[in-house]
Each structure stands twice: as C-alpha cells, then as structure tokens.
Amino acid sequence: MLEQRFLDIRHLDAGYGRSQVLFDLSLDIPWRGGTAVLGRNGAGKTTLMKAIVGELPSWRGEVVFDGHDFNRLQTEQRVRAGIGYVPQEHSVFSRLSVRDNLAMGSLFNTDASAIDRVLAIFPKLGHRLDQAAGTLSGGERKMLAIGRALLGNPKLLLLDEPTEGVWIGVIEEITERLIELAKEIAVIIVEQHLDLALRVASKAYVLDRGRIALQGAAADIRTNPELLRYLAP
C-alpha cells in the first residue's frame, strides 16, 4: 500500500544494463530542508538522483513523491509533479544566452515575475543576460542551472555537485543561497564538500557501494567516527 508522504523511497534497486548499482535503498525526504547524499566516487549518488528523476528506471521498490507513484511516471511528468533537477554536467545550453536559458526554464511557468525572483537570488546572472552560457564562469553556470530549475517551481530540488568546478570564492555565495532555498523547499544535495553539504542539510545519508551505510541528523553524521571511512577514496 503506497502512503502519502513527500518523497518516500522504499527498497529501491537500480542499475545500468545488467549491472546493479543501488541496493535496497530506503530514504525519507521531508517537505522542507536539506538532505545530503554523501559517499565516495562511484558510491551511487548520481545514480540515485537519476532514479528519482526517472532518467533511470527502478528495478525494484517504490518511489512515491507527494502522492504520485513515480514508477508510473516519465521524467517530464515527474518534473511537472514538482521535481527540479540540476545534473552534475551539461546543465545549461552553452550556445544559448543566459536570457534564453532562463526562458527555456520558464516554459511551464506562467508567473511573469519568476525570472526576476531568480535574478534576485543570483544577481550576477542579471549582468550576463545577453552572454552565451558557455562563456560564463563555472560558478555562474551553476547559478544559471539552479535558476533554471527553480523556474519550474519545484517542491523538491535535486542538486548533483552544485559546486563542482566552482572557484572557491563563489562557493560561499552559492552555499548561502542554498541554505536560504532549503528553508522554503526540499533540497537533496550531492556534494564532495562535506562542510558545505552539512551546512545546507539537516539530514544526511551516506552511501557505500550502492547501499546506505549511515543515516541520521546532519550534526550527528558530521561527528560520526565512521564517516571518514566511507568518504576516503
């Protein structure tokens, strides 16, 4: 029987071809606040994001979002149900201007002030509206990708390494925006920067070879003596 929680993942298995990557994952994602997904390279974090957004089918288990049985929905329907996804790579259209990237993000948004709200969150984008996205710095590109996802009015934002390739001076700016966002909507953040992830998140899951190794309040995970064992290369 499917219960009506927010994002409720139960006994999820998924993988590529015949190779299983996720094993029996169960996660509860609350309505508001950040949830960090941590783990070393190859632990299965991106695969989990893809399974939530529907880029990868679940082999087994339930993914229920806001009452929707995601196993029955395609990616586009999941996005319409309220999922925003910022993938690790290729998250903006390099040849299009910042303005056109934002316009594409707002295709389904009838609120004319939505782009202004994104520009208020990331003012740097406002100075670059006519520039091709491919000419932006790494940090500005991530801001554009997050801004575009926000234009779909997501109830849950999935962020896969939002500070990868971002100059250290800009990481703090992005982090502060994510902390603010997580007060209004649910955010799942996959991050290599442990401190950043655990500042945005109030809850954390640590994956190890596709299984949940640790879970709990971010403050407890941060001080868990086992944590480094699961993050070390």
Shortest distance, position 49 Cβ to ligand ATP, whole Å? 8
- Kindly state the tokens that stand for 199: 């500042």
Residues of this chain that bind ligand ATP (CB under 6 A): 16, 19, 21, 39, 41-47
Instruction: Determine contact, residues 91/145, Cβ cutoff 8 Å.
Output: yes
Residues 214, 231: Cα–Cα separation, whole Å: 11
Q: Which is nearer to ligand ATP, 30 or 42 (CB)?
A: 42
Bridge partners, residue 37, by sequence: 190, 205
Q: How far is the CB of 46 from ligand ATP (least distance, A)?
A: 3
Whichever of 43 and 200 has its CB closer to ligand ATP, that residue is: 43
Closer CB to ligand ATP, residue 115 or residue 200?
200
Pairing of strands 19-29, 7-16: antiparallel
CB of 216 to ligand ATP, least distance (A): 19
Q: How near is the Cβ of 56 to ligand ATP at its closest, in Å?
A: 9
Count the neighbouring beta carbons within 10 Å of the beta carbon of residue 219: 13
Nearest Cα residue to 189 out of 63, 26, 39, 8: 39
Closer CB to ligand ATP, residue 35 or residue 47? 47
Tell me whether residue 44 or residue 105 sits nearer to ligand ATP (CB atom): 44
Residue with tokens 């086992």: 226
Minimum Å gap between C-beta 144 and ligand ATP is: 21
Count Cα atoms within 13 angstroms, Cβ side, for 201. 31
Task: Return d(Cα 189, Cα 155) in angstroms, integer.
Answer: 14
3-state secondary structure of 16: strand
Rounded to 10 degrees, the C-alpha dihedral 182/52/63/213 comes to: -80
**Pick 15 or 139: Cβ nearer ligand ATP:** 15
